Amino acid sequence: MKIAFLASIIVFCIWLAYEIRKHNQKNKQVLDSYLEKEQKANATRPKSLDSLNYIHIPDSVYAALPAPLPSHLEDCSRLLQHLKQNKIVNLSHISNTDLKLKYGASNLDILSEYDQNYISLLRVLHTLSEYHYENGNIETAQTLLEFAVQIQSDNISTYKMLAKIYCDNGEDAKLDYLISAASLLPGLTQKPILRFLKSLRTEDTDPEESILDILD
């Protein structure tokens, strides 16, 4: 009995040592691969940024600043003035290493600035759309929200507010547009956004698909 117990312990220890060694080897391979990629990225020469998908703010966004300007929207006004004079690019879902590989290591700072401008723009759009929605300016709020979706905002509140506007206006068919737009989002918020939007179209929901969404 004791021999069998000791044997089982020995077998377990051997298995555990093997699994630890395998795990360490896998981690080392991942780290080595990352370091090799990072080294290559840091050595990449600068390339032209002309091919970037620059975002241009339409006049309707600037026109959405109310007059007189409420104090809590002064930051939005300042940010819009800053964004008007600077370039905006959505790079949120591209790693710094991949940016350096594609555009050169020396361009990383300027690319990070472009991406920060994008994040600032989304914040402005959401704040202004909330203000106009709460004050009954539904058409203006809709314009701002649709622009946010167009430039691939991944803020679920943006989709919820715009979906409510569509439903309140009897334009449920436009939910298909939101679902199509959300399906192109590369980030982690894609699934919860799609889950919410599809929940508004219960007549089209596949029960099996709904269960899989919940389990996912």
Residues 41-77 as b/e (b if ≥16 CB within 10 A, e otherwise) read: beebeeeeeeeeeebebeeebeebbbeeeeeebeebe
Q: What is the model's pLDDT at position 4?
A: 66
Q: What is the model's pLDDT at position 174?
A: 92
Distance CA 179, CA 170 (A): 17
What is the full DSSP assignment across 22-68? Answer: HHHHHHHHHHHHHHHHHHHHHTPPP---TTS------HHHHHTS-SS
- Residues belonging to the chain: 216
Residue that is last in its domain, among 107, 130, 153: 153
Instruction: Indicate if 206 and 187 belong to the same structural domain.
Output: yes
Is 20 among the domain residues? no
Q: What is the pTM of this model?
A: 0.78
Cβ atoms 89, 55 nearer than 8 A: yes
Residue 39 has pLDDT above 90, yes or no: no
| Mean pLDDT value across residues 4-28 | 71
Instruction: Indicate if 78 and 120 belong to the same structural domain.
Output: yes
Residue that is last in its domain, among 153, 179, 195: 153
pLDDT in tens, 57-106: 999 999 999 999 999 999 999 999 999 999 999 998 899 999 999 999 99
Domain that holds residue 72: 52-153
Please count the structural domains in the chain: 2
Instruction: Indicate if 106 and 179 belong to the same structural domain.
Output: no
Q: What is the model's pLDDT at position 132?
A: 97
Instruction: Indicate if 141 and 204 belong to the same structural domain.
Output: no
pLDDT in tens, 95-154: 999 999 999 999 999 999 999 999 999 999 999 999 999 999 999 999 999 999 999 999
